[in-house]
Amino acid sequence: MKQTTVVVKIGTSSLTDDRGRLDEGKLQHHAAAVSRLKQAGMGVVLVSSGAIAAGFHELGMKQRPRTLAGKQAAAAVGQGMLIQRYREAFARLGHSCAQVLLTRGDFDHRMRYRNALNTLGFLLERGSIPIINENDSISVDEIRWGDNDFLASLVAGLLQSEWLLLVTNTDGLYTENPWENPAAEKIHRLTEVDDHLLSRLDDSKSALGSGGMRSKLLAARRASAAGTRVYIGTAVESEDWMEKAVAGEGSGTYIASASHRISRKEHWIAAHSLPKGMIQVDKGAAQALLEAGGSLLPCGITRVSGEFEPGSVVEVLDPQGRSIGRGLTRYGADLLQRVKGWQTEAVHQIDPHVPDEVIHRDDWVTLFSLNYA
C-alpha cells in the first residue's frame, strides 16, 4: 500500500520567540508532532522557514534586515543553525533528517525537477525526514514568494502528497482579520479558494515572517488543484495535533482537494515551468483545446512570440489575448512563425518529419480549470 505523504510547512512566527530568536521549545514541539506522523506510518517532508530570523541575531543586527543582501547574509548564517537544531531534535526522537536546499530553477528545469523528485523519494523510502528551504543565500525569488508557502505548495505537487499542513500563528482562516476584529468568525472548511475570497484578504503578517494569510490561501489553491488536501492552523499543546489534523479533527481550516488528481507532468507544465514563449490562437483552435479535448494544429495559430525550441513550455492565448493554458510545443519558434495559419499538408511540404500537432493534447493543461492563478 502506498505510503501517505504529508508536507508540513512551518512559518517563522511558529519557530521563534518574541525577540525573533529560535525558540527551542517550539522547534522541539514541532519535531515531536512530526514524529507522531512518522510513528503512524506516514512519510513527512518539512518545509521550514526561520533561517533569516535565526541568522540576523548572529550578525549582531537588532531587527530583521530589509535589504536583499542583508536577508541573504542572515539566511547563510541561520540556515546552518536551523538544520542543526532540527537534527538534534529528531535524533532524540530516533529519526534522521536531511537538508535539501532548492531554487526556483530546480522546478523550472524538467531534468532538475525529476532529480529533486528522485532525491526526495529516496529519502522518504529510507525513512528520513527531508527538511526543505529555498537556497536563500543565492536566490532572489524565495524572498518574494512569501514565507515558503509557495515553495511548500510546489513540493506538495511534486510529491503528489495527500496532505499539506500550513503551520502558522493564526488558527485558520477567519471572515476578517481576528487581530483587528475580535468578532471575526473562523471558516472551518472550504471546497475551493476563489478570487472573491482572495480579494477580501490582505497580507497581514508577523514582524518576523514574510507571508500572510493571502499567501497561504494562494498556496492552498495551488496544492488543492494538484489533488492535495490542505490544513491551515496553529500548533497546540498536544504533541498529536498534526496527527489529529490529518484525521480531520483539527481546529483550523480545511481546504478540499480537487476531485481529480492531475499527473506530475501536468503539474510541472501548469505550476513549475516558466513559459519560453507565447502562441495566440483563433476561436476554433481555442474551442478544440478547451471543449473538444483536441490538439493544437498550425492552422489555428494567429501569432507567435518568444524564442523557443521543440519541447519548450509555451503559454497559449485565446483571440482576446486571455491566457487559457500551457503546453509543450513540438515546433520551434522560427518554424512556427513561418507556418502559423497553414494547413498540416502544406507544413509537411517544408518538413515532412515535423509532427502534425504543435501541442498534442497529452502535453496540454488548461490553467483556469485548475485555478493556477
Annotated binding residues for ATP: 9, 210-216
Q: Which of 262, 19, 65, 274 is nearest to 160 (CA)?
A: 262
Q: Which of 332, 215, 264 is nearest to 107 (CA)?
A: 264
Q: Please say whether the dihedral angle defined by the alpha carbons of residues 56, 81, 43 and 35, taken in this order, is positive or negative.
A: negative
Strand partners, 281: 301
**Rounded distance, CA 237 to CA 147, Å?**
24
Q: Euclidean distance between the first and final Cα of the chain, in Å?
A: 34
How many helices (H) and strands (E) the chain has is answered by: 14, 15
* Binding positions for substrate: 49, 136, 148
As given in the structure block, the three cell numbers for residue 218 are 494562494
Question: In one letter, which amino acid is 301?
Answer: I
**Rounded distance, CA 143 to CA 312, Å?**
27
Burial of 19 (0-12, 13-18, 19+ CB in 10 A): exposed
**Could you give phi then psi for residue 157, rounded to 5 degrees?**
-70, -40
**Rounded distance, CA 230 to CA 221, Å?**
9
As given in the structure block, the three cell numbers for residue 210 are 514574510
* Binding positions: 9, 49, 136, 148, 210-216
**Rounded distance, CA 260 to CA 28, Å?**
36
**Rounded distance, CA 268 to CA 372, Å?**
12
> Residue 194 in contact with residue 239, Cβ under 8 Å?
no
DSSP 3-state helix, strand, coil percentages of the chain (rounded to 5)? 40, 20, 40
Burial of 111 (0-12, 13-18, 19+ CB in 10 A): exposed
Please give the C-alpha separations between residue 19 and each of 56, 59, 207, in angstroms, as whole numbers. 11, 15, 10
